[in-house]
Every structure is written in structure tokens, then in C-alpha cells.
Amino acid sequence: MKRNPRLKDKTVVITGASGGLGEQTAYRCAASGANLVLLARNLEKLEHVASHIRRQFGVGCLPMQLDLACPEEIPDVFHSIIDQTGGIDVLVNNAGYGIFAEAKDVSPADVKGMFAVNVIGLIICTKEVIPSMKRRKSGHIINVSSQAGKLATPKSSVYSATKHAVLGYTNSLRMELARDGVFVTAINPGPMATNFFELADPSGNYVKNLGRYILSTEKVADQMVAAMLTNRREINLPGWMNAGSLLYAWFPKLVERFGKKAFFKK
């Protein structure tokens, strides 16, 4: 488990921290001496993670319930966090979900839900930490996007649209906050071994087709935590998939033509 000495006694807030990448990131921040605030819908799971962190690492860890699909709740939660901690040094916007379906089959409720959590919730969480980070002339906002934000594929039209939105927002935000000494980083992982696919692809076909190419949350968390409080623009994983995204940016017609069969393996 990698440690980052810059996090000692800092306050790190992580959304979607009840499992998967958020949970693994929390463990590594705690191992580095950071105090944590964990946010998710499932308070019972959060309390279990927080109890483990306090017991193993001896740092402060505050679990708080938050549903990003309810944007009106976000400001009050963040005001409470700032009141209790004195300030947020790192915000990790990790929460998100996807549904894999052809565009004609995606329900309006799923469209609304994915944009509410993946985009609107992320933006409002970020908005709540910007003023204090600007005043302090320090801080780090980390937005977990996806390789789907760079290379859209069939059966992920709405999910890819949300991640394209996250990258657009992140790139603009980075330029806005650079003059204030606040770092902004995009994390763009490919498919990870989490419960994401239980909802995105209940058939299990996509994970089965990926096989050994699927990423571990531990590896992604290691790289994310190592980059905290440094001026890192992006982290793209795995390398071979990011190469495909770059190739697509240069030769989109070629990639769409020859990658069609692989893209439909969802």
C-alpha cells in the first residue's frame, strides 16, 4: 500500500467511499496520515469502513450520508464538513454509475440518474470547496472520469456523455484555479473490478470478455493517492487503453471501423 507524506494531517473528502475505488483510496489516504470524510448513500457501509480506518490507522474518519442524486442536500453536507474539520484539502469526486444499453433502450429515469450523479452532483460538490481553497491558495480537486470520456463505444452512449462532460468541466476548472494554487486532476481508468458492472451489465458478459485486462481498484488508488497535492493533469489507466483513446483522437474513422467488433462486446 503506497503512502503519500504530503497528506499527513490533511483533510480528504471522498464521495462514493463505501466500496470499490473510493474505499481503497480512503485506506491509502489514512495510511498516509490523512483525516478522512467519507460520503455515500449507504451509511452502514461507510461506518464499517470508517471504523476499520480508525482502528487500523489511528486517524480521524467521519462517515456522512449523502445521495448525489439529491443536489439540494449537498451544500448543507459540505458546510457541516467544513465546520467540523476547519477546511478541505483534497476532494475526490469518485461517486458515479453507468447503465450499458443501446441508446433506444435507455430509460429517461436512467438518463436523469446518470447525469444527476456523474455530472451535476460532482459539479455541486466541487462548487462547495472552491471558495475556501481559493482563499487558502491551496487544495486539490480530483475528478474520477473514465476512458469512456475519451473514447465512446456502443451501448454506453449516455454514460460516455456524462464522462465527456466531466472531462470538459475538469479541463476548464483546471485553468480557472491554476492562478490560485489549486490543483485539478482527472482520473481516467478503464474497466475496474468493482460492483459497477452489477448494475451496468447484469449479464456479466462485459466482465467475462475483459478477462485479465480488467483493472484492480488497488492499482488505480495507488496512483491516485501518490498524485495527491501535486500538479498532475491526468492519470490514464491502463496504458494500452489510453493509447487507443489517443489513436481515436487522431484517426477516429479508422478506430471506429476496425474496433467495431470489440466495442460491441458489452
User: Known catalytic residues?
Assistant: 159
Nearest Cα residue to 79 out of 136, 34, 13, 134:
13
> Alpha-carbon distance 226 to 209, whole Å?
31
- First-to-final CA distance of the chain: 32
* 175 SS3 class: helix
* 184 SS3 class: strand
Residues 6+ away with beta carbon under 8 Å from 152: 160, 161, 164
Q: Which amino acid is at 233?
A: R
Q: For residue 164, how many other CB atoms are within 10 A of its CB?
A: 17
Q: For residue 208, how many other CB atoms are within 10 A of its CB?
A: 11
Residues 6+ away with beta carbon under 8 Å from 178: none
Strands 90-93 and 140-144: parallel
Residues 6+ away with beta carbon under 8 Å from 104: none
Helix, strand, coil in percent for the chain, rounding step 5: 55, 15, 30
